[in-house]
Amino acid sequence: MNNAFLDLIRTRRSIRFYQPEQIGDDELATVLDAGTYAPTGHGLQDPWIVAVQNPDLRRRLSQLNASFIEPRPDYDPYYGAPTVVLVFCSSPEKCKTGQADGALVLGTMMLAAHAIGLGTCWINREREMFDTDEGRALMAEMGLPEGLVGVGALSLGHIAKGPKPNKPRKENYYRVVK
């Protein structure tokens, strides 16, 4: 079936090479606003979205994230993207659907960014990052309440180098039981 939205889903790819200039305020607002329309359990809208464009804060986030993987000199887990979008949720004790809701927010923002010609890549390790003293201090610096946990992040920016072609979908990826 051909459909513009389905084509958007089929063509979105992770981007790991970004142009250094910052994205426009309208572009950022479009992506962030789309995230607020992602479905959430019981309509609670539990996730918290934070876009980081401050170069110093972005550098510190990159260093903290990189500390959880094999150390490489000057490695940037956000691939040089000028904007990093972080998503948080309440602890599982406070909101059982928080992690899933946050994942839907991230996925929705990825599709919105692709729709307006921006690139994204899902970045992991935010849960571990923000479970540290340094991470909690960064959360406080960003004005977030205590008790939130990291879900994930997006690198976000103008694409410098295009994505790799689609991989073929694996056989038996889904089943239909009637």
| Its pTM surpasses 0.85 | yes
The correct answer on CATH 1.20.1730.10 for the domain covering 4-157 is no
pLDDT on residue 11: 93
pLDDT averaged per 10 residues in sequence order, the chain, 178 residues:
91 96 98 98 96 98 92 87 98 95 98 98 96 98 97 98 88 94
pLDDT for 70: 75
pLDDT score at 134: 97
Residue 82, C-beta contacts closer than 8 angstroms, at least 6 positions apart: 18, 19, 20, 21, 22, 23, 53, 58, 156, 157
Tell me the two tokens of residue 71: 């150390």
Res 172: pLDDT: 93
DSSP 149-177: EEEEEEEEE-BSSPPPPPPPPPTTS----
Q: What is the pLDDT of residue 46?
A: 96
Q: What is the rounded distance in angstroms from the CA atom of residue 39 to the CA atom of residue 4?
A: 21
- pLDDT at site 72: 74
Which of 94, 104, 106, 112 has the alpha carbon at shortest distance from 40? Answer: 104
Two structure tokens written together for 124: 């992991």
